[in-house]
Amino acid sequence: MTATGASEGVGARGAPVSGPWWWARRRSAVLDVVLAAASAVECAFEGARFASGAQLPELVGVLLGLLAGPVLLVRRRWPVVVVLVSIAVIPAEMGGLLSTVGLYTLAASDVPRRITGVLAGMTVVGTLVTTFLSLRQDVLAQEDFQPPMWLLPAMSLALGLVLTAPPVLWGLYVGARRRLVESLRERADGLERELSLLADRAEERAEWARNEERTRIAREMHDVVAHRVSLMVVHAAALQAVALKDPEKASKNAGLVGDMGRQALTELREMLGVLRTADGAAVRGAAASGAPERLAAVASRAGAQATVQARSPEASVVAESAGDGGPEGGAPVPAPAAAEADSEGPYLAELGDLVGQSRAAGMVVELTVDGVAEGEPAAAAGQRYAPPVERTVYRVVQEALTNVHKHAPGARARVRLAHREGELAVQVENGPCEGGAADAGLPSGGNGLVGMRERVTALGGAFVSGPTEAGGFRVSAVLPAASAVS
Tell me what the mean pLDDT of segment 368-390 comes to: 63
Q: What is the pLDDT of residue 45?
A: 86
User: Kind of pairing, strands 413-420 and 365-370?
Assistant: parallel
Question: Ranked by mean pLDDT, which of 151-155, 215-219, 277-281, 332-336 comes out on top?
Answer: 151-155
Q: What angle do CA 31, 37, 38 make, to 5 degrees?
A: 90
Instruction: Express each pLDDT in 307-349 by its tens digit.
Output: 444 444 443 433 333 334 343 333 333 333 333 334 456 778 8
Q: Is the pLDDT of residue 194 over 90?
A: yes
- Rounded to whole angstroms, the Cα distance separating 279 from 164 reads 73
Tell me what the mean pLDDT of segment 29-57 comes to: 85
- Rounded to whole angstroms, the Cα distance separating 145 from 147 reads 6
The model's confidence at residue 126, banded by pLDDT at 50, 70 and 90, is confident
Tell me what the mean pLDDT of segment 345-359 comes to: 83
Q: What is the pLDDT of residue 385?
A: 83
Instruction: Express each pLDDT in 398-448 by its tens digit.
Output: 888 888 888 888 889 999 999 888 889 999 999 888 765 555 556 666 677
Question: Ranked by mean pLDDT, which of 74-78, 238-242, 322-326, 433-437 comes out on top?
Answer: 74-78
> According to DSSP H, which parts of 312-447 are helical?
313-322, 336-344, 351-360, 387-407
Instruction: Express each pLDDT in 446-476 by its tens digit.
Output: 677 888 888 899 888 999 999 998 889 999 9
Length of the chain: 486
Nearest in space to 368 (alpha carbons), one of 380, 358, 382? 380
Q: What is the pLDDT of residue 184?
A: 93
Q: Which of these ranges, 145-154, 225-234, 316-325, 434-443, has the smallest mean pLDDT?
A: 316-325
Q: Please provide the DSSP assignment of 77-94 as one string.
A: T-HHHHHHHHHHTGGGT-
- b/e code 22-55 from CB counts within 10 Å (16+ = b): bbbeeebbeebeebbeebbebbbebbbbbbeeee
Q: What is the pLDDT of residue 342?
A: 40
User: Kind of pairing, strands 462-467 and 473-480?
Assistant: antiparallel
Rg of the chain over Cα atoms, rounded to whole angstroms, equals 47
Q: What is the pLDDT of residue 147?
A: 73
- Rounded to whole angstroms, the Cα distance separating 114 from 12 reads 17
Q: Is the pLDDT of residue 17 over 60?
A: no
Q: What is the pLDDT of residue 320?
A: 39
- Residues 6 or more apart whose Cβ sits within 8 Å of residue 420: 371, 481
Cβ atoms of residues 124 and 153 within 8 Å: no
Q: What is the pTM of this model?
A: 0.45
Q: Which of these ranges, 43-57, 136-150, 324-338, has the smallest mean pLDDT?
A: 324-338
Q: Is the pLDDT of residue 261 over 90?
A: no
- Residues 6 or more apart whose Cβ sits within 8 Å of residue 50: 56, 61, 92, 93, 94
Q: Is the pLDDT of residue 76 over 60?
A: yes
Question: Ranked by mean pLDDT, which of 3-12, 271-280, 375-384, 459-468 comes out on top?
Answer: 459-468
- Rounded to whole angstroms, the Cα distance separating 51 from 456 reads 100
Q: Which helix (H) or strand (E) holds 185?
A: helix 151-221
